[in-house]
Structure 1
Amino acid sequence: MFTGIIEAQAEVVAIRDEQSNRHFTLTCPFTQELKIDQSVAHNGVCLTVVAIEENTYTVTAIAETLSRTNLGQLQQGDKVNLERCLLANSRYDGHIVQGHVDQVGICEEVKDQQGSWLFRFRYQPQAAGNVTVEKGSICVNGISLTVVESGEDFFSVAIIPYTYEFTNLHAVKPGDQVNLEFDIIGKYVARLLNK
């Protein structure tokens, strides 16, 4: 389980395909603290550390993960948002994030609001009944954010300078895909109401 509070960014240093799997080798500020079999969220996708060598580590994404997320578009040199799993005795600063991306969304607009940025994203609402609500939670590329405006197939979020600078949102532009994990409580409520 995660909170959507980004710890650092990792840089992709190598990508290797093996059958339908894709292995990503990355480097990050806490590589030396990682261990084999540890879960780490990469742009909101929970992946398992499978190898560690000097200052790099490797994770593997299977075909299902590559088809549902933006990880398949990563290239060498790209930055990804990182969060290690929640410790049982930690403060819960974000919201409940599972690291299970529901679908990708498309950035439609980025507005500089002279001190903050407003990002607008569109998504396919029929996918698993995913919904947003104003002032509710959404996870974008692993970042716990508050919904500003909510529509049937879009939402917007406001980004403070710290989040803009220390996550990969500063590189997201209109047309780019982002990973979306919708609020788990909202998903359960929607499913129960549809029964």
Structure 2
Amino acid sequence: MGTRDELIDSARALLWERGYVGTSPKAIQQRAGVGQGSMYHHFTGKRDLALAAVRRNADELLSGADERLSGPGTAIDRVSAYLRRERDALKGCPIGGLAQDPEVVADPQLRAPVDQALGHLRERITAVLDEGRAAGELPATLDTAALAATVVAVVQGGYVLARAADTTEPFDQAVSGALALLGHVSGAAVRDSRAGCGP
């Protein structure tokens, strides 16, 4: 990797570990193994570098999610694969965690890629559920946008519960609950189709 990428990756890691306020330019430089001059050659300052880091984190989050959501199977299979993907629940989400950072929330430019990433994730899951509804896998009356928001909220909230308890158990329970909900919704479509069959 070049110096610019080293700086971005160092900032990504530190933002995840310490948040925006706890991430100093000096700490980023030390982690990247570069001097102050190199940092300011590529970025105007901490905020500019943090923005690049947040955007890269967002790209990685969406790429990983899309890999599961574009996989084989029904809509429920694909959303379930997203929920079941391996995560370090105790570290939290590198994007969702920033939504709890007061400095990030107060800065529209830093907040924008966080909001856009989570918004895009909801839209992507909604699109998958829409496909399932159109294929008759899900009830025709299902509010797919609401269910997609619930799925994202389960993951993000699961991180918070796990970190508060210092154990992954609450995260695993939240995912299990979401999977049960998805199974119930899918089963409702089957029951509806059977109810509509004539003698």
| TM-score tier after normalising by the smaller chain length | under 0.3
Structure with bigger RCO (C-alpha 8 Å, 6+ apart): 1
Bigger Rg over Cα: 2
Structure having the higher strand fraction is 1
Structure having the higher helix fraction is 2
